[in-house]
Structure 1
Amino acid sequence: MEFLAAHHFLRAHLQARVPLPNADFAIFQRYLRPQILRKRQHLLLAGEPCTHLAFVTQGCLRSYSLNGQGHEHTLQFAPEDWWVSDIYSLLTQQPSTLSIDALEDTHLLLLAQADLETIYAQFPIFERYFRLLMQSRYVALQERVNASLSQTASEKYQHFLRKYPGIAQRVPQHFIASYLGITPESLSRVRRQL
């Protein structure tokens, strides 16, 4: 996606959530840096400090962690119109516990953590927008934890399909199984039953 189109995409995303004057967005977009990741390329590796928020304008990323045995656990998919980051690392500047990689060729707009306070002070509407974003992420996290504790594999998969429409056809099934906390074989059974 070309740079101008990416900015229009983000502008539409923001405008759907908060009232955003053109002049404010014109200044805000100066803080954005475009980046393209090729499939399997990493935006962030565990152990590095996370320094940016990334907005996906095209493609799909996933964030994941590794357990002590080296098994991956997918925490989030980030298709178009999603922000992704390791929020813990971004806010504390501690080394990241997550890695973020591209599942497809992906176009991003990066916003540096170092610029956030300046943006908040200059444009309170962005502080409101990011507060609303964090609130919705917290609610989604709580729903996910509750689902992992109480839902069947079939219910988890159906919820996944509602939350990430179209992703099931775009990403490998073993990543979806990892996200759901089930084995790929269990996911295959659930898909057959549905």
Structure 2
Amino acid sequence: MFEVFKAYVLRHATVSEEEFALLEAVAKLKKLRKRQYLLQEGDVCRHHCFITKGLLRTYAVDDKGNEHIIRFAMEDWWISDRESLMSGNPSKFNIDAIEDAEVLLFEKASMDMLMEKLPAFKKMISEILDKSFITSQNRIHEAISSTAEEKYQNFVQRYPAFALRAPQAMIASYLGIKPETLSRLRNKR
């Protein structure tokens, strides 16, 4: 599984074999079964997680038991609760596997050390965080200014793999629309 991560890093940064050895030394492989939690609400997030296989989601559950999906993530993506990870406060979110998955876990202290010792890796992570922020900003704008149809069309265009792999009810939750509305939109296509 580390080979998947190594290929990913090589697409985004120039890292030597010695530096890869350091990355590999601190990475821990975790396998998740479908529906298994990576993080549960109330626990403190302790790892940056790189997905080498599978599809995961971050979500919250409201007082009525409704799930609100914040994000999906698949192979070659990172996932964690950044607020909990950085603050040490309990997470407001759950992260679980939609499919059987494998992730590489990097403890916060290890990641801090890697970014200090590996400037190219630090630059890569900084660029990923910038893109993530921009994506979140655009998602908020779309959520408050787009119709259900526009949200769905943009989702399918931006994330065709998620549209194929995630259950319809989860996609509806992510888009903030009712499953029946999503069903109607899909039938129109």
- Both structures adopt the same fold (TM-score exceeding 0.5): yes
The CA distance in 2 between the partners of 1:110 and 1:49, in whole Å, is 14
The CA distance in 1 between the partners of 2:8 and 2:98, in whole Å, is 22
The CA distance in 1 between the partners of 2:109 and 2:43, in whole Å, is 16
Partner-residue secondary structure (3-state), 1:166: helix
- The answer to whether residue 41 in structure 2 is matched with residue 46 in structure 1 is yes
User: Partner letter of residue 10 of structure 1?
Assistant: F
Compute the displacement of 1:117 (Å).
1.7
The CA distance in 2 between the partners of 1:17 and 1:155, in whole Å, is 32
Q: Which residue of 1 aligns with 2:60?
A: 65
Q: How many residues align?
A: 189
Q: Which residue of 1 aligns with 2:90?
A: 95
Cα RMSD of the aligned pairs, angstroms, is 1.1
- Which of 2, 6, 9 in structure 1 is aligned with 2:4? 9
The CA distance in 2 between the partners of 1:91 and 1:98, in whole Å, is 14
Partner-residue secondary structure (3-state), 1:54: strand
Partner-residue secondary structure (3-state), 1:148: helix
Compute the displacement of 1:68 (Å).
2.5
The CA distance in 1 between the partners of 2:84 and 2:187, in whole Å, is 39
Partner-residue secondary structure (3-state), 2:136: helix
Note the alpha carbon deviations across 1:80-108, whole angstroms, 9 max, x for none.
Answer: 11110000001111000110011011011
User: Partner letter of residue 18 of structure 2?
Assistant: A
Q: Which residue of 1 aligns with 2:107?
A: 112
Q: Which residue of 2 aligns with 1:3?
A: none
Partner-residue secondary structure (3-state), 1:81: coil
Partner-residue secondary structure (3-state), 1:20: coil
Worse overlay, 9-18 or 48-57: 9-18
Q: 5+ unaligned residues in a row in structure 2: which ranges?
A: none
Percent identity reads 39
* 8 Å contact kept, 1:51–1:114: no
The CA distance in 2 between the partners of 1:150 and 1:121, in whole Å, is 40
Compute the displacement of 1:116 (Å).
1.7
Q: Which residue of 2 aligns with 1:156?
A: 151
User: Partner letter of residue 29 of structure 1?
Assistant: E
User: Partner letter of residue 45 of structure 2?
Assistant: C
Partner-residue secondary structure (3-state), 1:16: helix
Worse overlay, 181-190 or 22-31: 22-31
Q: 5+ unaligned residues in a row in structure 1: which ranges?
A: 1-5
User: Partner letter of residue 45 of structure 1?
Assistant: Q
Q: Which residue of 2 aligns with 1:173?
A: 168
Compute the displacement of 1:31 (Å).
0.8
Q: Which residue of 1 aligns with 2:121?
A: 126
| TM-score (norm: length of structure 2) | 0.96
User: Partner letter of residue 104 of structure 1?
Assistant: E
Note the alpha carbon deviations across 1:112-166, whole angstroms, 9 max, x for none.
Answer: 1121221122112222111111100000000100111111112111221233222
